[in-house]
Structure formats: structure tokens, C-alpha cells
Amino acid sequence: MYRFLTRAACCLFALWGCGVHSMELAAHGNTIILSGPVVGTELVMVKDAFAANPKIDLVVLRNSHGGEAWTGYRVGEFLRDAGVTTAVSGYCISSCSRMFLGGKQRLFTNDYPADRTYVGFHGHYSADGNLDRTSVQKGGLYAWILKYSDGKADPDLVKRWIAIEKNRGAANFFHPDVGAALGNSLFFCDGLTAQNPTSCEPIATNALERGVITDVRRISSPDQSTQPGRQRALQFPPSGYAALADLAKLPLESAAGTEQYQRYLQAKPPRAFAVAPTRQHWGWVSGGTDDVNAAALKRCEERAKQACVLYSVDDNVVFR
């Protein structure tokens, strides 16, 4: 694994502040995995990785909110010239999305659930999180997106997302298959309020149509089995009783309990939801504890005064 950090490059991007590490690069055969913030040192890091292994053909971008704008363009252009495939694992936003768009072939992975795997596009922002229109124009962001989407991006939509006023907003593209459950797979967040990406304005198009991805296959990263969420999924597999979001099958006869389950669905793993035989009591926990399963059961049993069972663990319904 390579890690590079230079104080000078870091200070160029005040939003992240000095002392923040650059993206981490992990090599797995002919695949490299990039994760974390973009601070300005990543182009050299990626070039060094390709110099060390000219056979690299897959670049996975994982859980990055982006960062320094110039680097996103340059890494994306380097990857396009190299003719490699890029794949998103988790979330890839802002300058990370430009790195992703640089891939000649572009895919989603199945490292994380489909509703938590997305690419988010927006403009350039100053240290206070406000849109920097001058930087957007000088960077040629509009024309760059049209070119690197292979001419498939919707010009009007691109104009909307590069003009989002706050950096927490974005046009968030999920895998097209997400549309079957959520009605749409593209959600436009204006950034004026904090929102879960899938609760924002739905847009009736998808990542394949707009050149964000070139193939609907979902691939596995070479380190997928080592990810904490994947290990828990293997330990607590789905029972087949119900889909995670199927409220009709939730074994609760309590409006408050159903509302709490909906909140649970918005929480980030690790998480667990427990129910009681009474169908009136429940308990759930998300993060902040070493054993969310035990904590959820304990909360439920304190309310029900009897033993409870797990209904869901992370993204699987385990209830039988």
C-alpha cells in the first residue's frame, strides 16, 4: 500500500485542511484501489503505481468525498489515456467522480449494497462550501463532463449540477437496477438541506443512458471479502423471509415500531433491529458499540420483558 502526503499540496486545498492524508492506494495484482480524500498528491501516486506495474487494467474508487479539483481532472485524463476500467465501490463524489469518469469502461461494484453505491457530480467549491463559479468556468467542467461521458451526458442536467450552490449537493447516480425498488436511480440534491441521496429529487434517466457507466455488470473488488460489512453479511445471511424494505412483512403491530424501522433503514451499518413475540416491542442500534446485535436485543428485551429475536442485521433480514 502506498501513502503520500506533502504539506504543500495539502495546503492548496483549504477545505480539507493541512494534516489530512491523501487517498490511500492499495495494489491487488493488476487492480489498484483508491480511497479517501483527494488532496493534490494523487496524480504522482497513480503514475508511480502504473510505472511499477504497466499491466494495471482496473482502478476501483472507494468511499471518497473528493477534494482538490485539478487532481480529479488530471487523474481522470491519465486513466482514459491508459485505457483502463474504473469501478465505484461505495460512494465517489466531486473530484473522485472525475477520476471515475476517466475510465474507458466504467462499472459499479457489488462491494456494498446497491442503494449505498453511487457517483455524485457537482461543481467546484471554495473553502466555505459555496460554489466557485470562476473555478468552474476556468476548469472547463461543463465541456469536460460532456467529453468524458462519451457525449452521452444531458447538457441541461450537467448545467444544473455544476451550478449547485452548496458542496453537499450533487447529482447522484446509482446503478440502474436501483430504480426497480426506489422508482428512479438518479437523485438530484440541491445541497440546501442535509438529505439522504435517495430522498432527493428523482430524475427520469440513468447512469447507463447518460454515459456515467458503460456496462450494467456489477463486479467484485479483489479485497471484497476483507471488508467488514461483507464479513458480517456472510455471518448473518438473509433468511429469505422478506426484502429489507418490505414493511408489510415486518412482524410489528405498532405504528411507532414501523416508523422506527424506517429510521433504521436510513442508518448506516453496522446496525441491527430486534422484535419481540408481542409484536408491540422492538429495539435497534446503529454503530457506536462493539456488538450492535446484542445491544438491539437488549433494548428490545428491556421493553418487552421477554426474549426478543433479531429481525435484520445490516442489509439482511435474518428473521425466520
We report the CATH number of the domain holding residue 33 as 3.90.226.10
Q: Are residues 25 and 93 in the same domain?
A: yes
pTM greater than the 0.85 cutoff: no
Q: Are residues 283 and 299 in the same domain?
A: yes
With the CA atoms of 16, 22, 24 and 25 taken in that order, what torsion angle do they form, in degrees rounded to the nearest 10? 140
For 179, residues 6+ apart whose C-beta sits below 8 A from its C-beta are: 185, 206
Structure confidence by residue, pLDDT tens digits, 101-142? 999 999 999 998 888 899 999 999 999 999 999 999 999 999
Q: Hey, what amino acid is at 151?
A: G
Q: Which of 177, 210, 226 is the last residue of a domain?
A: 226
How far is it, in rounded angstroms, from Cα 275 to Cα 307?
Answer: 9
Structure confidence by residue, pLDDT tens digits, 208-253? 999 999 999 999 999 988 876 677 777 889 999 999 989 999 999 9
Q: Are residues 126 and 181 in the same domain?
A: yes
Domain span at residue 178?
A: 7-226
Max CA separation in the chain (angstroms): 65
Does residue 2 lie in a domain region?
A: no
Q: Are residues 168 and 258 in the same domain?
A: no
pLDDT at 186: 98
How far is it, in rounded angstroms, from Cα 149 to Cα 119?
Answer: 13
Among 14-18, 151-155, 223-227, 257-261, whose mean pLDDT is lowest?
A: 14-18
pLDDT at 288 over 80: no
